[in-house]
Amino acid sequence: MKLFIAFCLLITTGVAQAQTATYAEKLGFPKGKKVVIFHVDDAGMSYESNVGTINAIDKGIANSTSIMMPCGWVPQFFKYLKKNPNVDAGVHLTLTSEWDNYRWSPLVGRDKAPGLYDEQGAFWHSVAQVVEHASVEEVDAEIRAQLARYRSFGFQPTHMDSHMGTLFQPKFVMSYAKLAMEEKIPILFPGGHASLIIKANNVPADLQKLIHQVGQQLWDAGLPVLDDLDGTSYGWTLPAGTPVTDENVQKYKTQKFIELLKSAQPGLTYIIMHCTAPTPTFDQISGSGQTRNGDMLAMMDPALKAFVEKEGIIVTTWRELLERRKKM
């Protein structure tokens, strides 16, 4: 869920210092500008996740999402996309099934990828378990199957990213990048200054060369590359003693997003959130309903949109990034 944690294994301070011109500038955005994608993870996971994602996009400032292709509510979200074909929507490449009461399984059969299956016939609960049990070949087969299922609905994804950051593990990252380069589909990968990630985490320095090389390979393959990303909103919870009301949750989360935008450095920043409309059923899936509801409400808050406009922050999409890259 907290995607930035997985990137701790890959991003280093040296990478942040290595690049002088931001990728935003390379893509033709004005120098010194903050350029942002407001991205909603986990579409298709549940009915509540679909409603939350749609609310954040249709009634708010969010402008990107990605779909968990092994999950049960995928068809409903594609019905929405058929009516709204210009929405930025990608593949949320999924290799874990983290909840206890609600599970999903690989698209490739157990005979082809036994290492992806746990004892219940679902994906493993954690990233560490996938790294331990699954081979590179099994993961490659599964992510290609998920891309194929996405296309079977008659759409081409605007991008791909990784649920819980599994594909950012050193064992799998080249499969992720290879698929992107082969298919000419942009992927979530911050090869720039990575300031927010570095600030939020104690980052090891041993994989600096790998992250720099992968980012450069993606750029050389004609794909856009991000400068930075943040996924910390999943951990933002109301201060102790604050009554849990929609008004309080919205006000708190909106302020946190404003603080995040203030702290972001110029360049192309990908801000990840999880938007869900709360129901008693979702509470049986996950205890994250409050923070997901808060993300949705913040995206719908006019105060957040007003701040973005006042500060001159440019809000972009994966579609625009790829078009800019193609023209270079």
Average per-residue pLDDT for the chain = 92
* 240-278 pLDDT, tens digit each: 999 999 999 999 999 999 999 999 999 999 999 999 999
- Please name the residue that has the structure tokens 């609905």: 153
Report, as an integer, the average pLDDT of 134-150. Answer: 98
Q: Which residues partner with 269 through β-bridges?
A: 36, 228
The answer to whether residue 125 is domain-embedded is yes
Look up tokens 């919870």; give the residue. Answer: 237
Total residue count of the chain as it appears in this document? 328
**Three-state SS across 40-74?**
EEEECCCHHHHHHHHHHHHCCCCCEEEECCCCCCH
Backbone φ and ψ for 232, nearest 5 degrees, come out as: -80, -10
pLDDT at 55 > cutoff 60:
yes
pTM given for the model: 0.93
Of 20-29, 30-39, 130-139, 204-213, the poorest mean pLDDT is in: 204-213
Please check the confidence at residue 281 and state whether its pLDDT lies above 80: yes
Report the pLDDT value the prediction gives residue 209, as an integer from 0 to 100: 63
> Is 152 inside a domain boundary?
yes
Can you give the pLDDT at residue 193?
83
pLDDT of 7: 52
CA contacts within 13 A on the Cβ side of 184: 7
User: Is 85 part of any domain?
Assistant: yes
CATH number (domain holding residue 43): 3.20.20.370
Which alpha helices (H) appear in 171-245, and where do they start and end?
173-183, 195-200, 208-220
Q: Which tens digits make up the pLDDT trace of 166-175?
A: 999 989 999 9
Q: Is residue 95 part of a domain?
A: yes
Burial class (CB in 10 A: 0-12, 13-18, 19+), 98: middle
Residue 162 lies in a domain: yes
pLDDT for residue 158 is more than 50: yes
What range does the domain containing 256 cover? 23-327
pLDDT above 70 coverage of the chain, percent: 90
Q: Is residue 14 part of a domain?
A: no
Tell whether 16 is covered by a domain. no
Average pLDDT over residues 24-49: 98
Structural domains counted in the chain: 1
Query: What are residue 264's phi and psi, to 5 degrees?
Result: -65, 145
Whether 255 and 249 have beta carbons less than 8 Å apart is answered as: no
Mean pLDDT of 187-205: 76
Task: Report pLDDT for 11.
Answer: 46
Specify if 187 maps to a domain: yes
